[in-house]
Structure 1
Amino acid sequence: MTRRDFDPAEVLPDGRPAASARLFDPAGGGPWRGVVEGAALAGPVTVLAYGTDQPGEGPPWHVHPYDETFVVLEGRARFFVGEAVIEAAAGSVLLGPRGVPHRFENLGPGRLQTLDIHHAPRWIQTNL
């Protein structure tokens, strides 16, 4: 598919170099696999990796002052976002709007692995 959504001549580079950081060690344990804050890459988003093999487990109720996008990479999850309950499987993408408390849990069987994109250069969270 050929796309031409904008004219590249109208978007000038801002001088930032390409950057990289390690999100997690694949051999590491625990559900919170890692975080790369956008500030470390001079970028506008922070990325977290979360994974658990235990059905029913997941992060506690919490809230952010910015949007969060969840990408389910593996397994099945139940998301609680404000009053909404959404079941999602590998390949699903969900939005947690800023200021709306949320959490999710592994529905099993097997591993739940998510990539959580925080729309801010640093991770800011209040657990409820």
Structure 2
Amino acid sequence: MTRNDFDINSVRPSERAPAQATLFDPGAEGPWRGSLPGDALGAPVTVLAYGTDRPGEGPRLHVHPYDEVFIVTEGRARFFVGDKVLDAVAGQVVFGPAGIPHRFENLGPGRLQTIDVHHSPRWIQTDLD
């Protein structure tokens, strides 16, 4: 698929340098596999990796002062975002707006793995339960 969404002459190249960092160790134990603050890359987003093999398990109810995008890369999850309940499977993405309490859990069977993109150069969170 060929795309031509903008005139390349209308954008100035960024002065930021390319960067690389490790998000998680694939052999690490526990559900929180790792986090990478955007500051480490000079980027405006922070990325987290979460995974669990236990149905019903997931992060506690919390809120952020910025938007968050959840990418389900493996398994099935149930997201609670404000008063909405959204079921998502591998390959789907869920949006959590700023200031809206949210959590998610593994629906099973098997592993749930997500990549969570925080629209902030650092992870800022208040737990609600």
Task: Report the TM-score range of the alignment, normalised by the length of the smaller protein.
Answer: over 0.9
Q: Pairwise mapping of residues 113-124 of structure 1 onto structure 2 (< 5 A)?
A: 113-124=113-124
Distance in 1 (alpha carbons) for counterparts of 2:14 and 2:92 = 33
Partner of 2:15: 15
Instruction: Write out aligned runs for 1:36-75 (5 A).
Output: 36-75=36-75
One-letter amino acid matched to 1:86: L
Kindly provide the CA deviation profile for residues 26-74 of structure 1, in whole angstroms up to 9, marking residues without a partner as x: 0111000000111111111000000000000000000000000000000
Shift of 1:14: 2.4
Shift of residue 101, structure 1, vs aligned partner: 0.1
CA RMSD of aligned residues (A): 0.6
Q: 2: CA distance between counterparts of 1:16 and 1:3?
A: 25
What amino acid is the match of 1:115?
I
Which consecutive residues of structure 1, in runs of 5 or more, have no partner in the other structure?
none
Aligned to 1:97: 97
Shift of 1:8: 1.2
**Whole-angstrom CA distance in 2 between matches of 1:16 and 1:66:** 23
Q: Counterpart of 1:111? A: 111
User: Structure 2: where are the runs of 5+ without partners?
Assistant: none
**Deviation beyond 2 Å, 4+ runs, structure 1:** none
Q: How far apart are residue 13 of structure 1 and its match?
A: 1.5
The one-character-per-residue Cα deviations of 1:58-110 (angstroms, maximum 9, x if unpaired) are 00000000000000000000000000001110011010000000000000000
TM-score by length of 2: 0.98
* Aligned residue pair count: 128
Tell me, what secondary structure is at the counterpart of 2:60? coil
SS in 2 for 1:6: coil
Shift of 1:12: 1.2
The TM-score with structure 1 as length reference comes to 0.98
- In the alignment, the residues of structure 1 paired with residue 10 and residue 78 of structure 2 have an alpha-carbon distance, to the nearest angstrom, of 42
**Percent identity for Structure 1 against Structure 2:** 69
